[in-house]
């Protein structure tokens, strides 16, 4: 079962991968665009093998050639994965809107609301996603 972890730069994708693997497999940092290429690892959860794919953060208007190649790979991996984890940064991403192209994969997409912090309740993004967070 392949699982593509996708989202905007800095959303916490690599951190999520590392947390699930319990090791620092991918470099995570507060510099947007840290992951340039995809990183794959297998994870066995109760006998079910998952192939976790950490991807380059997706932004629509990058002028960086290498970053754009990474973004193309992110989208390609999302398209062919069995499951998409769409990581959303609640702390910093005020105007989060789902990527338009991601709607094609709604039935296999799980949104992961990341960076939830109680002290940030005033954030617009958190208000918007409050229902989803607490349901």
Ligand X SMILES: Nc1nc2c(ncn2[C@@H]2O[C@H](COP(=O)(O)OP(=O)(O)OP(=O)(O)O)[C@@H](O)[C@H]2O)c(=O)[nH]1
Verify binding: residue 12, ligand X, rule CB under 6 A.
yes
Of positions 39, 57, 77, 86, contacts ligand X by CB under 6 A: 57
- Residue 14 as a binder of ligand X (CB under 6 A): the answer is yes
Contacts of 99-108 with C-beta under 8 Å, sequence gap 24+, read 99/58, 99/60, 101/75, 102/6, 102/78, 105/78, 105/79, 108/81, 108/82, 108/83, 108/84
Nearer to Mg ion (CB atom), residue 12 or residue 125 = 12
**Closest-CB residue for ligand X?**
57
Given candidates 6, 71, 114, 125, which one binds ligand X under the rule CB under 6 A? 114
Helix or strand (DSSP H, E) at 41: strand 39-45
- The yes or no reply on residue 120 touching ligand X (CB under 6 A) is no
The span from the CA of 99 to the CA of 96, in Å, is 9
Q: Which residues of this chain interact with ligand X, rule CB under 6 A?
A: 7, 9-15, 28-30, 32-35, 56-57, 91, 114-115
């Amino acid at each position: 079962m392949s699982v593509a972890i996708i989202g905007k730069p800095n959303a916490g994708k690599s951190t999520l991968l590392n947390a699930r693997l319990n090791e620092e497999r991918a470099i995570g940092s507060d510099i947007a665009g840290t992951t340039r290429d995809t990183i794959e690892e297998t994870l066995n959860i109760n006998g079910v093998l998952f192939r976790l794919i950490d991807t380059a953060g997706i932004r629509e208007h990058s002028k960086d050639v290498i970053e754009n190649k990474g973004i193309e790979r992110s989208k390609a991996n999302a398209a062919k994965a069995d499951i998409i984890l769409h990581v959303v940064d609640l702390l910093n991403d005020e105007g989060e809107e789902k990527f338009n192209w991601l709607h094609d994969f709604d039935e296999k997409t799980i949104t992961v609301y990341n960076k939830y912090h109680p002290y940030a309740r005033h954030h617009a993004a958190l208000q918007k996603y409050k229902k989803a967070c607490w349901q």
